[in-house]
Structure formats: C-alpha cells, structure tokens
C-alpha cells in the first residue's frame, strides 16, 4: 500500500522547483506518495504519467518519469456556488480533485482477484494491505485448507494511506488542520488508546473512537496492543469513511464547495454520531441546508445531542455539537447561529446537573464553549 495522496499539486517557493523531465529510480521503502511529494506533483499525475495501475504498486529499481510541474493558476479553478445559495461565494478547487468525485481519492474500490500459482492468503493480504486473517473472513473460507488456482476472491474497499505515525500525518492526509485532529483526539481519547476499551455506551472500541463491530475485528484486536501506525491508520480510515458518506449524501459538488473548517465540522459530526444518524430524520434540516447552500440553516441544525442508548441529552455530546457549530459557522456568526448555540448551551448546563458532573467539568464546559462563541452565550 502506498502512503497518502492529498489531491492537488503542492506548490513550493519559486527557488524550490525540481528540474523538469527528471527520471527517478525507486528505492527501498519509497512509495508513490513519497516520490510525488519529493517532486511537488500529485500521486494521480505520477501514476497516470507512468501508466501505473490503480493499486499504485511500484517496484524497487523501477524508473519513473516525473511529470512537469504546473503553475498555481493551472492547478486551481474557480467554481461558483449555485446562484440561489444564501452564502454567495467562490471555492478554490484543485482541478485534479474533481468537484464531481463521489469518493475520496484515497479510497480504493472493492474488486475481485483470481488466484494464480504460488499465491497464498498471506501473500495476497500483504499485496492488498489487509490484516492477517481478513481475506479468509471476508470470503468465508477455511484458512487451513489454503487457496485453489483460479479461485475468485473478494477484495474489500481499501484506503491508500500508507503508514501515518502522527496526528500531523493524519491531518496532511485528509487536508485538515492538525488542530482539528488534535481536538477530535481529545474528544475521543482515553488513557490508553492502544488496547480495546468500552466507550460511553458500552461499545468495544480501540484507538480514537474506532468501534470494533465485526467478529473478525473482535478477534483481531483481542488482547493486542496496537502500534501508533495502527492507531493512526484506523483514525484516518474512519475519517475517510465519514467524508465519503457526506459526499454521497449531499452531493460531491456541494461538499467540495464547503470551506475546510465546514468540512471538518461535518466530518467530526459523522465520525461522532455515525452515518446512519447523519442520513436519518434527526439531521434532515442539516442536510437540506447543506444542499441548498444555506449555511446558517446547516449550522443551526448541528444539534443532535442525545444518547443513542438512552435518548437523553448529554453534556459531552452537547459540548461537541457546539464545537462543530462554532467551527462550521466560522468567525462571523449570525444572530441565528448565536441564538441556536445559546439554546444548546443551556441544554448542556441542564444535562450536567442531571448527570451530576463535578464542578471542574462544568467549569471547563462553560469556558470552552464561551471561547468558541466569543463570550456571546
């Protein structure tokens, strides 16, 4: 698996441009991402320029032609939002990212594989970046019996993320801010994220909010201590899934026309509450606002703060919704947003009392929320 591709060409200082027409010989541990980053081009450009398959696989010693760099003006197109949108503005969209793309470019779609001579479950799991035992589980086969030549196997959707080791890697991968990733980790974090634990409603969880639902994952993570790469890989994959679900739900063009902070707010919401909640009745007005381009309507409906288990308003969920609302609304918050936030803020204070939270937690809630809304609540 090659490491992450962010879409769009990275621009450097004029004096930092690499020579054009250069040929690069692949070295050990290099990936399409690392090579593309070295020369200031995108993985997509490098892949197409060298006619590399969509699996992005390259070999040690392979010679890659480096495509000429484009100027900044060639890489960015100005896409106007719909004329009837409430917040009229323009978005800068990298051309090679494509406003109509349904799924994140880091997503590798599912496929099938016909077994060839010499191939094994182990070699195929390594080739496709799957976890040990995952291929047998997905295809419902007995691993002890091995594979048959010509056998057709299902290869699941995968993610071209490589080996992120830090929150900075995850931020760069998703083109999000490091501060956002840090905030999300704070909301989700436990004392030891490298071992499975129960979340607030009793779901088995590992890392920063990764729910361990399938039988395969329950067995795979049982009694294991994960490395940082595994933890950050799970986080990156879950964020990509959340982003993909938003794109599909509201339309890729509507999603791409959002600012980075607006995208972060929505991804945090879906990551926290789940795709089902985002697409359900509780978020109908939120989705309508996003599709209409009515950002006040969207912001004021980022409010679902009830426990899935009990249906009760929760202080922690309320605080996170207020964080998302503030981020989505940006620096210039309308009266409608402030009024919606004020109502939500009071709900959080009431729930703090019913939950019998300690004064330190309540004081932190007040301080953080007021800072997000410039003390206007």
Return the beta strands (E) in 60-179 as ranges. 63-65, 76-80, 90-94, 107-108, 111-114, 152-155, 158-159
Q: To which H or E segment does residue 198 belong?
A: strand 197-198
Output the six-digit token pair for 11: 């621009």
**Residues 167-372, CATH architecture:** Orthogonal Bundle (1.10)
25 forms beta bridges with 63
Residue 54's pLDDT is what?
63
* Cα(119)–Cα(253) distance, integer angstroms: 41
Query: 23 and 64 in contact (C-beta within 8 Å)?
Result: yes
Residue closest to 295 by CA, chosen among 92, 83, 99, 85: 85
HSE value, Cβ hemisphere, 13 Å, CA-based, for 42: 17
Output the six-digit token pair for 346: 């009071």
**Residue 81 per-residue DSSP state:** P
* Cα(94)–Cα(133) distance, integer angstroms: 39
CATH assignment of 110-156?
A: 3.10.350.10
Residues of the chain with CATH 3.10.350.10: 14-65, 110-156
Residue with tokens 């890729």: 252
Residue with tokens 């795709």: 275
Write down the H helix ranges in 144-259. 167-174, 178-188, 215-221, 228-250, 252-256
**C-alpha distances in Å from residue 26, one per residue of 31, 36, 159:** 8, 12, 22
Residue closest to 112 by CA, chosen among 141, 134, 135, 133: 135
Residues of the chain with CATH 1.10.530.40: 167-372
Per-residue pLDDT of the chain (377 residues; tens, 9 = 90+): 333 333 333 333 334 444 456 899 888 767 777 787 778 777 778 888 888 876 667 888 889 999 886 543 333 333 333 433 333 233 333 333 333 346 888 999 999 999 999 999 999 999 999 999 999 999 999 988 889 999 999 999 999 999 999 999 999 999 999 999 999 999 998 878 999 998 888 889 999 999 998 999 999 999 999 999 999 999 999 999 999 999 999 999 999 999 999 999 999 999 999 999 999 999 999 999 999 999 999 999 999 999 988 999 999 999 999 999 999 999 989 999 999 999 999 999 999 999 999 999 999 999 999 999 999 99
What does the pLDDT look like over 248-302, one tens digit per residue?
999 999 999 999 999 999 999 999 999 999 999 999 999 999 999 999 999 999 9
pTM of the predicted protein model: 0.72
Q: Please write down the HEC assignment for all residues of the chain.
A: CCCCCCCCCCCCCHHHCCCCCCEEECCCCCCHHHHHHHHCCCHHHHHHHCCCCCCCCCCCCCEEECCCCCCHHHHEEEEECCCCCCCCCEEEEEHHHCCCCCCCCCEECCEEEECCCCCCHHHHHHHHCCCCCHHHHHHCCCHHHCCCCCCEEEECCEECCCCCCCHHHHHHHHCCCHHHHHHHHHHHCCCCCCCCEECCCCCEEECCCEECCCHHHHHHHCCCCCCHHHHHHHHHHHHHHHHHHHHHHHCHHHHHCCCHHHHHHHHHHHHHHCHHHHCCHHHHHHHHHHHHCCHHHHHCCCCCCECCCCCCECHHHHHHHHHHHHHHHCCCCCHHHHHHHHHHHHHHHHHHHHCCCCHHHHHHHHHHHHHHCCCCC
Residue 191's pLDDT is what?
78
Residue 102's pLDDT is what?
65
CATH assignment of 14-65?
A: 3.10.350.10
* Cα(172)–Cα(169) distance, integer angstroms: 5
């Amino acid at each position: 698996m090659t490491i992450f591709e962010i879409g769009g060409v990275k621009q450097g200082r004029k004096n930092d441009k690499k020579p054009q027409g250069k040929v690069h010989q692949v070295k050990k541990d290099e990936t399409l991402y690392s090579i593309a980053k070295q020369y200031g081009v995108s993985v997509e450009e490098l892949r197409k320029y060298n006619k590399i398959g969509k699996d992005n696989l390259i070999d040690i010693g392979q010679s890659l032609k480096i495509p000429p760099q484009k100027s900044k003006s060639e890489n960015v197109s100005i896409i106007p939002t719909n004329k009837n949108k409430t917040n009229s503005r323009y978005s800068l969209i990298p051309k090679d990212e494509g406003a109509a793309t349904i799924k994140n470019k880091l997503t590798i779609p599912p496929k099938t594989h016909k077994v060839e001579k010499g191939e094994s479950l182990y070699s195929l799991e390594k080739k496709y970046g799957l976890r040990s035992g995952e291929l047998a589980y997905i295809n419902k086969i007995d691993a002890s019996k091995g594979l048959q030549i010509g056998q057709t196997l299902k290869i699941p959707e995968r993610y071209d993320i490589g080996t992120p080791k830090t929150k900075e890697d995850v931020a760069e991968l998703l083109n999000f801010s490091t501060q956002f990733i840090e905030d999300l980790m704070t909301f989700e974090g436990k004392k030891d994220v490298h071992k499975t634990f129960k979340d607030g409603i009793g779901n088995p969880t590992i890392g920063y909010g990764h729910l361990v639902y399938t039988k395969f994952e329950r067995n795979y993570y049982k009694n294991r201590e994960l490395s940082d790469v595994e933890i950050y890989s799970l986080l990156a994959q879950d964020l990509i899934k959340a982003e993909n679900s938003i794109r599909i739900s509201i339309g890729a063009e509507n999603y791409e026309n959002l600012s980075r902070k607006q995208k972060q707010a929505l991804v945090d919401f879906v990551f926290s509450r789940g795709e089902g909640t985002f697409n359900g009745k509780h978020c109908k007005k939120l989705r309508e606002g996003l599709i209409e381009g009515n950002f006040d309507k969207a912001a004021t409906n980022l409010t679902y703060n009830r426990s899935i288990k009990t249906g009760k308003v929760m202080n922690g969920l309320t605080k996170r919704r207020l964080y998302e609302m503030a981020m989505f609304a940006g620096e210039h918050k309308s009266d409608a947003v402030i009024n919606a936030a004020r109502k939500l803020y009071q709900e959080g204070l009431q729930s703090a009392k019913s939950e019998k939270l300690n004064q330190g937690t309540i004081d932190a809630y007040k301080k953080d929320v007021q800072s997000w809304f410039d003390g206007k609540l």
